[in-house]
Amino acid sequence: MNKKRFTLIDNDNKKEYQLDGMEGSIGPDVINISSLYKDTGLFTYDPGFTSTAACNSKITYIDGEKGVLLYRGYPIEQLANNSSFLEVSYLLMHGELPSQSDKVEFENTIKNHTLLNEQITHFFRGFRRDAHPMAMMIGVVGALSAFYHDSLNIEDANHRMISTHRILAKMPTIAAMAFKYHLGEPFMYPLNKYDYTDNFLHMSFATPTKEYEINPLFSKIMDQIFILHADHEQNASTSTVRTAGSSLANPYACISAGISSLWGKSHGGANEAVIDMIQEIKNNDLNPKKFIEEVKNKKNKIRLMGFGHRVYKNYDPRAKVLKKSTEELFKELKIKSKELEIAKEIEELALNDEYFKEKNLYPNVDFYSGILLKALGIPTSMFTPIFAVGRTIGWLSQWKEMIEDQEFKISRPRQLYSGEIDKNYKKVMEREKKSMFNLLWLKKTFLNNQ
Ligand code: CMC
């Protein structure tokens, strides 16, 4: 690695500071500011971390300008079109694709952990039937740490491995149970004759009275969706998992935190929001052109869901794969979809519009994933849980990498304080205006309650 040096010039105090630079295997170099405060008394300021590399990672690389995504060096398109989700999971976790025997062993290990402790089913029964499946997943995944005490010592590599296998294996079971509970149908247990993705389809769609016939095309597309969502470098939910894990919290608690962060509509919740948006256009017979104009009018505070990305300033490569799969599925099933037509029209309008061009806003992974999932018969409330199932291996791999990193420290950002200072405490009677009002309010409340 070439050594780099940077000079920071403090013009006010006529001082210069030397900072070390670091070079990755690809992507922007970084300035190492870890001793900046100690050396200069200064902090850096970067809300939203737009220019901050929070860690050194070997897992996923994104070139946002070119629209490139690599998992452990492999282009996402190659993996999405040729690999399987569990093979990609092994790759993300261990750094290389498995040999044939490692693959079989890994798949069998995951199969052995798909069942949940029966007591966990009672957790679901405590939720309202109309609870969002994400709300149930946050609770149930966090609760797993109350069941698997035998492997909670995160300083033990073997415990870490058992926990990661358990979480990866149980996530489809939990997501499918949340779905079944939401529908008011009985839970379906995992069946070891199925692979990871088919098991998820079986648990979601079979009933005790009717087997679910797995359609190979559906199964391939669902597996591809899991692969495409498996990791995405230091996004909000992954950073949440790393931050939670940096305090040495157990992995179940960390993954539950990741699911919470994923739920927001700026992140994983966007796939649900895309369908809501398209359906609103369809149901109200809105003109897509007019809708785009509404989005462009900042006063309306409407965003074109499924468009734009913090890192991609080009077409999201995951969206390209999904667009192709969507077209293949609709052709195969010979279905005409008004939603797909609207989506394509919106995409074309936005890609040719100055507002979107100037801001480099392109379709992201969520733009087509919702339409695809809807065509597979999945209700919108399950879109983000499916994202969570796919992203779990990324969270786990990043968590493991962090714990095993020699430079690992608890995450503790600092701040620029702009609040008040030098205030002196006053007793309540000495506080003005507000306190008089409070007193009257207290008196009135007290009298009313007599
Ligand atoms: N529709 C209209 N305008 C947009 C959009 C959009 N979808 N996205 C960004 N902009 C505008 C924004 O108003 C701002 O304009 P200006 O510079 O005039 O103030 C500019 O583009 C930059 O936006 P930003 O919010 O500063 O960018 P960001 O990097 O902080 O946000 C984002 C990224 C993904 C939150 C945002 O693009 C967005 O809200 N998109 C819609 C939600 C969405 O699809 N999210 C899924 C992300 S991909 C899957 C995942 O990672 O989970």
pLDDT digits (tens, 9 = 90+) for 192-215: 999 999 999 999 999 999 999 999
The pLDDT assigned to 450 comes to 54
Query: What is the phi/psi pair of residue 8, to 5°?
Result: -105, 125
Query: What is the phi/psi pair of residue 249, to 5°?
Result: -65, 155
Is residue 366 annotated as part of the catalytic site, yes or no?
Answer: yes
**Minimal-distance CA residue to ligand 1 atom 39:** 266
Distance CA 109, CA 103 (A): 10
Amino acid at 446: F
Calculate mean pLDDT across residues 71-91.
Answer: 98
Residue found under tokens 């609207």:
342
Calculate mean pLDDT across residues 45-63.
Answer: 97
Which ligand 1 atom is at minimum distance from the Cα of 267? 52
**Residue 106 and residue 98 in contact, taking contact as beta carbons nearer than 8 Å:** yes
The pLDDT assigned to 149 comes to 87
> How many angstroms is it from 361 CA to the middle of ligand 1?
8
pLDDT digits (tens, 9 = 90+) for 397-449: 999 999 999 989 999 999 999 999 999 999 999 997 655 566 666 666 666 65
**In 359-409, which residue ranges form alpha helices assigned H by DSSP?**
365-375, 383-403
- In 12-107, where do the E strands start and end? 15-22, 30-31, 60-63, 68-71, 74-75
Calculate mean pLDDT across residues 165-176.
Answer: 98
**Minimal-distance CA residue to ligand 1 atom 16:** 359
Q: pLDDT averaged over the chain? A: 93
CA atoms within 13 A on the CB side of 390: 25
pLDDT digits (tens, 9 = 90+) for 87-111: 999 999 999 999 999 999 999 999 9
Strand partners, 20: 5
> How many angstroms is it from 295 CA to the middle of ligand 1?
12
16: helix, strand or coil: strand
CB atoms within 10 A of CB 185: 14
First-last CA distance in the chain: 78
> Which residues line ligand 1 at a C-beta cut-off of 6 Å?
235, 266-268, 270, 295, 303-310, 359, 361, 364-366
Distance CA 342, CA 332 (A): 20
* DSSP character string of 342-361: HHHHHHHHHHT-HHHHHTT-
- Which is higher by pLDDT, 401 or 371? 401
The catalytically annotated residue of 202, 267, 309, 316 is 309
15: helix, strand or coil: strand
The pLDDT assigned to 309 comes to 94
Find the radius of gyration of the CA atoms of the chain.
25
18: helix, strand or coil: strand
Residue 361 has pLDDT above 90, yes or no: yes
Strand partners, 285: none
Is residue 309 annotated as part of the catalytic site, yes or no?
Answer: yes
117: helix, strand or coil: coil
pLDDT digits (tens, 9 = 90+) for 258-285: 999 999 989 998 888 999 999 999 999 8
**Residue 370 and residue 383 in contact, taking contact as beta carbons nearer than 8 Å:** yes
> How many angstroms is it from 266 CA to the middle of ligand 1?
8
> How many angstroms is it from 121 CA to the middle of ligand 1?
38
- Which is higher by pLDDT, 150 or 238? 238
Containing 243, the helix (H) or strand (E) segment is: helix 236-246
Query: Best of 241, 355, 359 to mutate for ligand 1, by most ligand atoms within 8 A of CB?
Result: 359
String of b and e for 215-230 (b: at least 16 CB within 10 Å)?
A: eeebbbbbbbbbbbbb
**Minimal-distance CA residue to ligand 1 atom 17:** 359
Give the global pTM: 0.91
Nearest in space to 346 (alpha carbons), one of 361, 326, 332, 359 = 361
Calculate mean pLDDT across residues 114-131.
Answer: 94
Quick one: tokens of 49?
A: 């971390």
Distance CA 54, CA 76 (A): 23
Quick one: tokens of 172?
A: 């489809």
Distance CA 224, CA 314 (A): 21
pLDDT digits (tens, 9 = 90+) for 22-42: 999 999 999 999 999 999 999
| Residue 306, CA distances (Å) to 26, 225, 297, 335, 370 in order | 28, 15, 18, 23, 9
**Percent of the chain having pLDDT more than 70?**
96
Nearest in space to 305 (alpha carbons), one of 364, 374, 349 = 364
